[in-house]
Amino acid sequence: MHDASGIMALLSSGASMVRKADLLPRGHIRIETSFLYPDGSNVDLFVVNDPGNPLFPPTRLTDFGHTLTFLLNHEVRPWTSAKRRAQLEDAVSLYGVELAGGALVKPIADVATDLREGVILLGQACIRMSDLLFTKRIQLQSAFSDDVEEFLSDADLGYEVSPMLDGQFGPVPVDFVVRGRTTTSAVMTLFSRLPAAAHVSANEVFRKVHDLQAAGRVEQRVTLLDDTVDVGRVYKDEDLRRIATYSSLVPFSDRSTALALLAA
């Protein structure tokens, strides 16, 4: 049961969070789990031997630092302060997982009894750690909203921040109401760095602009899109076209078009 073929058979029989398991050239076993990082990629875990006792049964599961690499690729650095590192260590310790040189590690006392549970616990720890990305995303979203507000202020437009407007099915929160010379605009902002999150954000904006139009509101609807990302990669074309059906969708880099709409 402790050799590679036995472990792979164990993982393949009734382990619902395991999609497949592969034996790697160095003797490690790679487990493709059903856990997903925030960008939709699979969480891979590895069954490894104690480096000091390679002939002994496997003693640990690890992500080999892939979760940390995921965060670094998205410019999130978990250890920018001792306080954040301590918080992260406390969070993953809930699952009996340790941080070792950037890798998440789950000890295995007995492969036959502990491996399946270990996969679930380590997978949860990987997701818990990767959720730090959303803290960064909230900060960036706030920065984008600040940029939009600065643009409105510089354009000397009258505006209100985060008002509630009556929609078809209830109050609709919008990012800004802007008052031009003759037109009032309900302004939404659309910001994301990840395709999965972008789809959710776009659906939320669509819900708002649809409800406002269905309620017969007099304000024109304008959605300002953060286009500092690769829009074609991050957003689904159908999501953007859906929004554009009920709102003027304007890349925020096109300040002249945005100003012409809002100042009208």
What are the pLDDT digits (tens) for 54-106? 555 568 899 999 998 888 877 677 776 677 777 788 878 889 999 888 899 99
Whether residue 156 contacts residue 145, with contact meaning beta carbons closer than 8 Å, is answered with no
User: Residue 142's pLDDT is what?
Assistant: 67
User: Residue 145's pLDDT is what?
Assistant: 84
- And the tokens for 174? 């919008």
User: Residue 16's pLDDT is what?
Assistant: 62
Q: Which residue has the higher pLDDT, 154 or 51?
A: 154
- And the tokens for 35? 């856990």
Summary mean pLDDT of the chain:
85
Q: Is 167 helix (H, G, I), strand (E, B) or coil?
A: coil
What are the pLDDT digits (tens) for 225-246? 998 888 998 899 999 999 999 9
Kindly indicate the confidence band of residue 1, based on its pLDDT and cuts at 50, 70 and 90. very low
User: Residue 50's pLDDT is what?
Assistant: 65
**pLDDT at residue 200 tops 90:** no
Query: Count H helices, E strands: the chain?
Result: 9, 13
Q: How far apart are CA 71 and CA 165, in angstroms?
A: 37
Least confident of 18-27, 96-105, 131-140, 192-201: 131-140
Q: Which residues pair with 179 in a beta bridge?
A: 158, 184
Question: Could you give the angle at the alpha carbon of 76 between the alpha carbons of 74 and 80, nearest 5°?
Answer: 160
Torsional sign, CA 225, 143, 232, 35:
negative
| Percentage above 90 pLDDT, the chain | 46
Can you give the C-alpha Rg of the chain in angstroms? 24
Q: Which residue has the higher pLDDT, 109 or 213?
A: 213
Q: How far apart are CA 79 and CA 98, in angstroms?
A: 15
Q: Which whole number is the average pLDDT over 199-221?
A: 93
Q: Which whole number is the average pLDDT over 255-259?
A: 94
Q: Which whole number is the average pLDDT over 167-180?
A: 93
**pLDDT at residue 24 tops 60:** yes
Kindly indicate the confidence band of residue 14, based on its pLDDT and cuts at 50, 70 and 90. low
pTM exceeds 0.75, yes or no:
no
User: Residue 4's pLDDT is what?
Assistant: 63
| Percentage above 70 pLDDT, the chain | 86
Q: Is 126 helix (H, G, I), strand (E, B) or coil?
A: helix
What are the pLDDT digits (tens) for 128-149? 888 877 766 555 566 788 889 9
Whether residue 186 contacts residue 219, with contact meaning beta carbons closer than 8 Å, is answered with yes
